[in-house]
């Protein structure tokens, strides 16, 4: 008896996902609820648990492959069956580690995200494996992200599938045999495993084989001197990066937002010297020890107070019913750039949180985003967003609304500037704020009041007490 685990819909109506990482290999024993792989949808990276016990027989797709929802991604034999032979275990999948860009940490920003280096791999034809499903079992476990998505699986009785192979130019060739750490090493060193001579048992490539492959060949200098310069082609002057996953979803959402909601952006430059002093005092406060305390925290609190004073700004446009949906809560979005692209998770019911609670939630949001573990649920239901473009030294910008939201506040760089203070020109900590809003929901007066209130609080942070 062989069970087939199909890729579930881990989001709301998503049609495909990319396999980022396998946590099991052929021959491993798995149990019901065990996480077997991590996939990336258009919204987030999600870990998938398997819904039955048994022994892994085959991984149908390699890491980096984009798979349609409903396709079989892993097969598992009954718990009493023996594991596949070692050679088959190595051949079952080319486990190439996804290489994350180095030298850059995800930060809270609006745009300018890092590129992902994950490569798309060719999809495999399930029919070539001779798989004949005989019955489908309904349901399955809830997705690991808490979304409650069901994982579909099928039972088959046709025996073990053939070892995975690579198809190149229409020719089927065996995969080089190597363990995942060795494949990762080869990728880091730029070595094609197909060109490496194996020295391990059963023809398995070892780490030593990979290192030997990058050693200088005999008379390398002469070879370089005699070789003619490679001609510069049009392909060599350009690089095409497939648009997929989070980046693809972001592009579609931004286009839809820009051409659906009539954007208006207003700006204000404000002296935030007192706010910066308050940040330093809060860092030393024992009630805030261990929490994330920075200017963004106070900007977030200022925006929440401004929304409380102007509640009509928290709304959404219902096109189907031609209604304005007023929201009596604030799910505060924080735009974050990650190696996989721009994401906007939000802090649920941020309006009801104290300053320490808001700091704790902000810290958890940032840590989760950096680890690439933000769930689809965390990015749904936002009402307004903050984007901190100042971390790049940018003074301000005209941010695009997150789809379905009424406003987005851009925070520029905070830096010393000459400023008239108490009748004299003095160096003060100054920043520029930009508020974009949907003019169907927010007219000029309301938008101006919200922006002016945020600026007033940051100029005189004691208003956090008097206005709250």
Closest CA to 65 of 153, 126, 136: 126
Q: Whole-angstrom Cα distance, residue 379 to residue 41?
A: 13
Buried b (16+ CB within 10 A) or exposed e, 248-259: ebbeebbeebee
Which residue in the list 144, 211, 328, 439 is annotated as catalytic? 439
Tokens, residue 105:
């940490």
Tokens, residue 256:
């839809």
Q: Whole-angstrom Cα distance, residue 168 to residue 127?
A: 18
Paired strand residues for 420: 425
Tokens 């967003």 locate to 385
Q: Is 211 a catalytic residue?
A: no
Q: Residue 280: which residues within 8 A CB-CB, separation 6 or more?
A: none
Closest CA to 431 of 391, 463, 466: 391
User: Please, what is the end-to-end C-alpha distance for the chain in angstroms?
Assistant: 64
Buried b (16+ CB within 10 A) or exposed e, 311-332: eebbbbbeeeeeeeeebeebbb
> Which residues are designated catalytic?
439
């Amino acid at each position: 008896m062989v069970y087939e685990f199909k890729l579930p819909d881990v989001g709301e109506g998503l049609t495909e996902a990319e396999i980022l990482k396998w946590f099991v290999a052929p021959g491993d024993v798995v149990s019901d609820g065990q996480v077997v792989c991590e996939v990336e949808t258009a919204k987030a990276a999600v870990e998938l648990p398997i819904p039955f016990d048994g022994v892994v027989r085959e991984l149908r797709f390699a890491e980096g492959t984009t798979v349609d929802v409903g396709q079989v991604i892993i097969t598992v034999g009954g718990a009493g069956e023996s594991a596949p032979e070692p050679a088959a275990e190595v051949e079952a999948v080319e486990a190439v580690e996804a290489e994350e860009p180095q030298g850059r940490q995800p930060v809270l920003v609006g745009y300018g995200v890092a590129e992902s280096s994950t490569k798309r791999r060719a999809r495999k034809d399930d029919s070539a494996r001779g798989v004949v499903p005989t019955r489908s079992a309904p349901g399955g476990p809830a997705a690991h992200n808490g979304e409650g998505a069901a994982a579909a699986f099928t039972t088959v009785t046709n025996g073990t599938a053939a070892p995975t192979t690579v198809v190149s130019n229409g020719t089927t060739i065996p995969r080089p045999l190597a363990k995942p750490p060795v494949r990762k090493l080869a990728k880091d060193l730029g070595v094609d495993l197909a060109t490496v001579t194996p020295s391990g048992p059963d023809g398995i490539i070892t780490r030593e084989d990979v290192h030997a492959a990058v050693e200088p060949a005999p008379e390398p200098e002469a070879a370089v001197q005699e070789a003619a310069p490679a001609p510069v082609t049009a392909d060599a002057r350009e690089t095409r990066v497939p648009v997929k996953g989070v980046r693809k979803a972001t592009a579609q959402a931004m286009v839809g937002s820009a051409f659906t909601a009539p954007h208006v952006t207003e700006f204000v430059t404000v002296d935030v010297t007192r706010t910066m002093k308050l940040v330093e005092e809060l860092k030393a406060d024992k009630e805030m020890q261990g929490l994330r305390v920075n200017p963004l925290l106070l900007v977030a609190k200022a925006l929440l107070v401004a929304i409380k004073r102007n509640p009509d700004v928290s709304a959404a446009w219902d096109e189907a019913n031609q209604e304005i949906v007023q929201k009596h809560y604030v799910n505060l979005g924080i735009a974050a750039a990650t190696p996989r692209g721009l994401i906007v998770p939000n802090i649920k019911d941020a309006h009801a949180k104290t300053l320490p609670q808001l700091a704790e939630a902000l810290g958890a949001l940032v840590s989760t985003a950096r680890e690439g573990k933000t769930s689809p649920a965390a990015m749904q239901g936002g009402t307004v967003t903050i984007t901190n473009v100042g971390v790049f030294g940018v003074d301000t910008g005209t941010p695009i609304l997150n789809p379905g939201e009424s406003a987005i506040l851009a925070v520029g760089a905070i830096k010393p500037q000459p400023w008239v203070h108490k009748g004299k020109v003095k160096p003060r900590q100054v920043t520029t704020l930009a508020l974009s809003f949907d003019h169907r929901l927010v007219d000029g007066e309301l938008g101006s009041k919200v922006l002016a209130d945020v600026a007033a609080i940051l100029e005189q942070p004691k208003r956090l007490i008097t206005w709250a």
